[in-house]
Each structure stands twice: as structure tokens, then as C-alpha cells.
Amino acid sequence: LSKYETNIKSALPQILSAIVAASFHIVIGISLAYSAILIPQLEQPGSDVPITKAQSSWIASIIVIMVPIGSLVAGVMMEFLGRLNTIKLAAVPCVAGWVAIALANNFTWIMVGRVLTGFACALGTSPAIVYITEVARPDMRGSLISSGPTLASLGMVIAYAKGAFMDWRLVSWICIIYTIVPVLLIQLFVPESPVWLVSKGRIEDAARSLRFLYKKYPQPEHTVRAGSQKNVNRHGQQQSKLRGFLKPTGYKPMIILFWFFLIQQFSGIYITLFFAVTFIQDVGTEVNAFTASIFVGLTRFSMSLLNAWLLKRFPRRQLVMVSTTGMAICMFVSGLFTLWIKEGTTTLTWIPVVGLLLYVCASMIGLLTIPWTMTAELFPTDIRGIAHSISYSMANLLMFFAVQSYRTITDLLGGAYAVQWMFAVVSVIGFFFALFFLPETHGKSLAEIEAFFAGKSQPQRVPTEPAAKPSVTEHLIRSPSREAKLREVELMLKNKNGA
């Protein structure tokens, strides 16, 4: 990489924009983990809103079933309204949901609140990932996309910590503040995606956005990766999005992501998130479940910070293989001690909790974060917004089935120890999936990834030096008038298509 590409200061506008765009993930993390603190409080004797075991499963999983609906809506909204405007609009149902939960006097109103916050989660997540993908350099793309899960992990810590000391209604009221702050930050400090602006013919706005994002570079046009230039090209074409899904660049990534997310969900990653307190209680440990859940959240958050560095330094496939190996070992050992605790043959009741913490560490290395990262990386620009929303919806449908079936699976398999062994087996399957089927995207431009699925060439490293040929971005920035910019962009696209 050139001296400019290795200079973090020069990338500060991109980094700050990405983090602010992803800041809504904090309230998303709180929303996801909220069931873990809500369910035990509602199941306590004397609860003012008593619930059954079946109702607890719905409280945990209903937020997930709403995400596919919200993702499809987000896919349309982000194409018409923009990436950032969609995130800002997500605050409306989110605030309404927290108010409904805080004022709930029965199970129905809690469900209404969970439905609204689940819908908001989708509206705030998909556009942020697409935005970061479009503004980030190839060498920083994975790390910046992971800022979303990192902030979501921070939100989970906040939820677990507040749940250990506060009533669930008070936590709901406080969450309104966490919802509003990201919207204000986005409104004040972050420019819209230049790729989306160009697709709408807003050339002047795109130029201003580019100058902000790449202003610390001597030649801003060289900072836009080849993938972003391809984005501008594809957005300028009136190509059928349906035909895009029928091409190898559309259906191959979708098939890969389906199996990737299926493995992710039934390896237990999100089950242990939504049922953190309940899961710890089920293993028979003498450790306080609420306190242990805080450590689970802190572990997840700490590892998410490390994950950003890992995604920048190591290939995706290697990280997934290391991750699944560690998860399998931890769940097997934890399940073994859970069985011994049940049989009364061991006094080491803290081992399953340690096993869970190490399992969380292993999951954060790869299997939790990389599938979400790839939803934005694998698809070409002309279908990326819709494809990301579809794959995101698919992932959350699988998450719904996994979370909803947790207590049923526990009863069918005979206890928490058997469920943990099931997680271990699925993790082993994930290892072989990464070994034989998962494509490598680390350090690849979006154009190279697309060419790989199209079968045109093998993925190669991103060039270390900028191409001598003037880029589309150069024309956007330097052309003297809007009309001239439009003519030059059209000429560039025509030349690229002819090549």
C-alpha cells in the first residue's frame, strides 16, 4: 500500500463517517439483548406482567421475525431516499416500540413494542452496512463494517448491565435516549453516500461528499477503490434487478450466504444472546446468572474490538475455521460438565460459564461477524441494496427459527448439555463449509469479487498503486460545471463499457 493508504489520519473522515452511520447499532444491540433481561424478570413470582414459557419464546424471537419485513422495506427506502435518511427514519418506530414496552400492562403490548423495535432494527442496520461498503477503502472495509457489530455488542453490555440493577420498564425509557442520539449525529456530521448520489444524478452533492470523505488525500480521486468506480458505472445503467439475481453474480452469493447463516444460527451464537440469563440458569451453575450475563456482554464487546483488527489482517476463511474450531471445543466441554452437574458427579459448576465465555470469544473471531460482512461484499452494485436486504431477511428468518425453537429443542434432546453438543456439531460443519465452499474476500475490491463469481478471473489483491487512467471520481471533482460533469461521467461509463 502507498504511504497515503497506510496513513490512518488521511482516512479519518471515512472512519468517523462509518462509525457515526453505524452508531444506531447500539440501540439494536440493546433491543436484541433486552429479552435476556426482560424474560427472567417477567417469570419471577409477583411479576405485574406474568408470562408462560411459550410466551417467553415469542418475546425473544418476535423481534427477529420483523427484521425480514423491515429489511425489504429498507432495501426499497435506501434506494429512493438514501442510505442515511433510511437510518434516521428508523428512529420513529424504535421510539414508539420502547414507549409501548415501558407502558405495557400485558403480554400483548410487550409484543407490540418488540415488533416495532424489531422493524426499526432492520431499517437501521442494512443501510449502514451498505453505506460503509460504498465509502470505505478495500483495506479498511472489513474493519469498518465490523464497527456495526462492535457497537451492537456495546449495546448488549449496556442492556445486560442495566437489567442486573434496573427494572425493565426503566430500561425501556432510557433506551429512547440511545435511539435519538445517533440520528442527531448522522444529521450533523455525516455526508450521504457519493455512490447513491451519483445514481440519482446529484453530481454536485456527490462531489461535495467525496471531498469530505477523501479531503486529506493529495488526489482524492485515487482514494475511491475500483469497486466504487464500478458502483458508479452500474448505477448509471438501467439494468433489470431481477436479471441480476439470475446471473452467477447474484444467485451464487445468495446460496453461499444461506448455508453460511444456517450454520451460524444453529451453532447457538444468537440463542445464547437472546436467552443469556436463561441459558446460564439451565446449565446448573451456582454463578449468578445476571452477573454472568454482564461478563458475556463484556466478552462479546471486547472481542468485537479485536475482530476489527483481525478482519484487517487475516483472510476471512482462516478466521471462520479458527472460530468454528474454538466454538466446537468450548461447547463440547461445557456440555460435558453440564451433564456431570446434572448427574451430581462434579462440583465445578463454574466450568460451563467459563466455557460459554470462551465460546463467545471464539464466535467473535469469525462466525458471528463475517457472514454479516459478506452480505454487502458479495453482491454487485446494481442489486446490492436489494440483495443485501434479501440476504439479511433470510438470515433473520433462520435466526427466528433457531431462537423460537431453543426451548423445544432443549426438551426434545433431553437437556442443556445435549443442546450444547448440538452447537458443537454444527460448528464442526461450519469448519468444513469454510474450508471447501467459502470464497475469500479479504483485500479484494468489490469489482474483483464480482469478477470471481462471474467466472471472469481469479480474485487478486487490490493494486498497491492507483491506475494512471483518470477515474470517474476525478471527473466528478474537477469538472467545471454540472453539465460538463454529467457529460464526462457518461463518456467514462461509455469507455468502460466499450472496454
Tens-digit pLDDT profile for residues 369-378 = 889 888 877 8
Residue 130 CA, distance from chain mean position: 10
Supply the CATH classification number for the domain 9-190+237-454: 1.20.1250.20
Q: Is 357 helix (H, G, I), strand (E, B) or coil?
A: helix
Cβ distance 22 to 126 under 8 Å?
Answer: no
Q: What is the mean pLDDT of the chain?
A: 81
Q: Report the pLDDT averaged over residues 283-304.
A: 87
Residue 454 pLDDT level (bands cut at 50, 70, 90) = confident
Tens-digit pLDDT profile for residues 34-57 = 988 899 899 888 888 888 888 988
In percent, the amount of the chain with pLDDT more than 90 equals 30
pLDDT of residue 430: 95
Lowest-confidence range among 200-214, 284-298, 466-480? Answer: 466-480
Say if residue 467's pLDDT is above 50. no
pTM over 0.75: no
Q: Report the pLDDT averaged over residues 348-362.
A: 92
pLDDT of residue 238: 41
Nearest 5 degrees, angle CA 349-CA 353-CA 354? 105
Lowest-confidence range among 21-25, 231-235, 246-250? Answer: 231-235
Residue 253's identity, in one-letter code, is P
Say if residue 462's pLDDT is above 50. no
Lowest-confidence range among 24-28, 177-181, 467-471? Answer: 467-471
Q: Report the pLDDT averaged over residues 464-471.
A: 39
More confident residue, 440 or 117: 117
How far apart CA 33 and CA 151 sit, in angstroms, is: 13
Residue 457 pLDDT level (bands cut at 50, 70, 90) = low
The H or E element spanning position 175 is helix 168-189
Extract the C-alpha cell encoding 408.
Answer: 423445544
Helix then strand count (H, E) for the chain reads 26, 0
Tens-digit pLDDT profile for residues 17-29 = 889 999 999 999 9
Q: Report the pLDDT averaged over residues 144-171.
A: 88
Say if residue 300's pLDDT is above 60. yes
Residue 359 pLDDT level (bands cut at 50, 70, 90) = very high
More confident residue, 220 or 402: 402
Tens-digit pLDDT profile for residues 67-80 = 778 877 888 888 88
pLDDT of residue 251: 83
Say if residue 458's pLDDT is above 70. no
Closest CA to 89 of 196, 200, 28, 179: 179
Write down the residue that cell numbers 471515512 correspond to. 14
Residue 241 pLDDT level (bands cut at 50, 70, 90) = low
Q: Report the pLDDT averaged over residues 467-485.
A: 40
Say if residue 471's pLDDT is above 80. no
- Please report the DSSP string for 132-149 in residue order: HHHHS-HHHHHHHHTHHH
Distances (CA, A) of 362 to 177, 271, 332, 367, 421: 32, 15, 13, 8, 16
More confident residue, 457 or 225: 457
Q: Report the pLDDT averaged over residues 101-116.
A: 94
Closest CA to 152 of 319, 308, 17, 374: 308
pLDDT of residue 486: 46
Say if residue 223's pLDDT is above 50. no
Expressed in percent and rounded to 5, the helix, strand and coil fractions of the chain are 80, 0, 20
pLDDT of residue 121: 87
pLDDT of residue 216: 56
